[in-house]
Every structure is written in structure tokens, then in C-alpha cells.
Amino acid sequence: MSGSPDTTHGRRWFRRLVWLALALALPASALLVWRERAAKPPLPTLGKVPSFSLLERDGSTVRREDLAGRPWVADFIFTRCVLSCPRLTAEMKRLRERLPDREAVRLVSLSVDPEHDRPEVLAEYAARHGIAPDDRGWLFLTGEHDPVWALIREGFRVAVSRPEPGPLANPLEPIVHSTHFVLVDATGEIRGYYSAFDEEAVNRLLADLARLLATAPRR
């Protein structure tokens, strides 16, 4: 049975008083953080990157488990690419320069042309773009063709293909691949896709990275 109007009115005022007391008890900064978190829904979970075993440019093996513990950003390149890939790497480098804490985030560039891009070829590519050989914060990975393409298509869920020969084929881009950055959290879950050539999208990526880092358990 519902209460009288006076009783209902009294309950409303009581709830308001409780919220007011909580607000007064919280420091202003904590209240702002609470309001900001309440206003923003959590980042989506878009699938887990499957286990993999790939080669880094120094010849060492890198597994998905080696990347656990901090978020990472992946992109997809190949060294014979002369149009989108140099720009992708430049944008990834610029992204890194904008990170408030470079040690907290890894970058991963995965070759879509693994038959050609062996570790030594990736090492030359990274060096051309000013990435130090001992820089373990930015990994350049390769492997065998079929597992790598399966990882890209089914694991990262982005496109990669070789266009059929013909008048519309672009000899400068023999492999068609994604130009998106992929945000992966510390547990290997994909949390977002962002066009690398869209300033607004990259700003969203930086904001989402900050949210992941702010909510990560302290180690």
C-alpha cells in the first residue's frame, strides 16, 4: 500500500538531506571525479586479443602475455608501403610524444607483409623513423603470414587484403590494411578503434588511455 502524500514528501526531503550531507562531506576534487565518472559510461569491451607468438625487430619472441599489465596501442604497417605507412608511423610517434607517461603505455606496430618484413627489415624501418634499437616501449612485430593475417582479421578485427591485379590496383599499396589505432587494455581486451589521421579521434584515444590508466589497479 502506498504512503500518504505527506509521507512521500517527507521521504524525498530526507533523501535530499542525505545527498547534501554526502556532498558536504566529500572534498571538492573527489566530488568532481565522482560526477565525471558517473557522467561517462565505461569504455566498451570489443573482444580479447587472442594469444600470439611473434618476432620483434631484435629477433626476440613477444607473446600477448608479455604485454599484460599496461595498456597498449597497435597499428598495422609494412615497410614497402610508401603512402599510408610512413604517415601512420609518424602519427604513432606524435601520439607517443603527447603521452603524459610514456612508460605506462606500450606501442605495437604489426607488419601486414610478414614474408618480406623479417626482423632485420623492421629494424631498418624503425631506425629510419628514429626509434632506438633498444626501445622496448615501441615494438615492431612480424611472424608467419597466415597466423599474422588471422590475428589481424580475427583477433584485432580489422581488414587486410591483397587487391586483385587490374587497372584499379595501386602498385604503391599492394596490401590494403587498416589505418586505425587499436586501444588494448592491460588484460588484452580491445577497448576502441581510432582513425590515425583524424585529430579528433586521436584526442579521444588519449582521453580513453587516461581513463584506463586512472582506473588501473596500483602496482
Q: What is the mean pLDDT of residues 49-56?
A: 97
Distance CA 19, CA 16 (A): 5
- Residue 2 three-state SS: coil
pLDDT of 101: 87
Is 100 a residue whose pLDDT tops 70?
yes
Is 209 a residue whose pLDDT tops 50?
yes
Range with lowest mean pLDDT among 96-100, 133-137, 201-205, 213-217: 213-217
Q: What is the DSSP string of 122-150?
A: HHHHHHHTT--TT-TTEEEEE--HHHHHH
pLDDT of 124: 97
Question: Cα(first)–Cα(last) distance of the chain, in Å?
Answer: 52
Domain boundary assignment for the chain: 5-39, 53-215
Is 153 a residue whose pLDDT tops 90?
yes
pLDDT of 111: 97
pLDDT, tens only, 117-149? 999 999 999 999 999 988 999 999 999 999 999
Q: What is the CATH number of domain 53-215?
A: 3.40.30.10
Query: In angstroms, what CA-CA distances link 100 with 97, 105, 112, 207?
Result: 8, 10, 30, 11
Q: What is the mean pLDDT of residues 64-92?
A: 95
pLDDT, tens only, 59-77? 999 999 999 999 999 999 9
